[in-house]
Amino acid sequence: MSSSAAASAAALLLLPLLAAAGEGAVAVCPRPPAAAAVLCTHAPAHCLAPDAPGPRRHHTGVVEGDDGALQKAVALVLHNREDFVAILFYASWCPFSKIFRTDFQKLSSFFPTIAHFSFEESHIKQRILSRYGVRAFPTLFLVNSTMRVRYHGSRTMSSLAMFYKDVTDLSCIFAAP
């Protein structure tokens, strides 16, 4: 038997084994319908797993911090260890900030590959707020090593998700209904 015929025969014999091995493989996360993509409303449970296959690291929740945590966020960007970091400046006395913090927490779940940091205005020095151009609360930035983009828009979840997608070119991971 020639070597090419032997290789073909071996491949035919191995096909059932390869098919059986594929049965335990990780399922692929399907592309959601357009409405679900905008509203971040649906995904199979295996797509939400922190160890789901993919090249990016998943972060859990929002890191609430002070000047030191802000330095950590800046270090992530400067050392290029993260593509994007979300930074929220808020005020505890501001009713809009209270609502926005809840949505920011949801955004950290919808975009787990983006590290999320929030800073209450009384825990941050005024000069740092000035450096970032924070004159009102809440103020949201998406930052990477080449740009800092401030959010100007409605505070609806769909608008915020579209802002993230437009700036980062990432799609959100959808929460199960």
Neighbours of 94 (CB within 10 A): 15
Give phi and psi for 150, each to the nearest 5: -95, 140
Q: Sign of torsion, CA 72 73 76 80?
A: negative
Beta-strand pair 115-120/62-65? parallel
pTM value surpassing 0.85: no
Q: Where are the domains of the chain?
A: 34-168
Burial label for 119, CB within 10 Å (0-12, 13-18, 19+), is buried
Q: How much is the pLDDT for 24? A: 39
Divide the 177 residues of the chain into consecutive groups of 10 and give the mean pLDDT of each group. 47 37 40 44 42 51 85 79 85 95 94 92 92 94 92 93 93 64
The residues pairing with 89 across neighbouring beta strands, listed in sequence order, are 119, 139
CA distance 108 to 106: 5
User: Are 140 and 150 in contact, with CB atoms under 8 Å apart?
Assistant: yes
Q: How much is the pLDDT for 6? A: 46
Q: Strand, coil or helix: what is 21?
A: helix
Q: How much is the pLDDT for 142? A: 95
Spell out where 30-147 has E strands: 62-65, 85-90, 115-120, 139-143
CATH of domain 34-168: 3.40.30.10
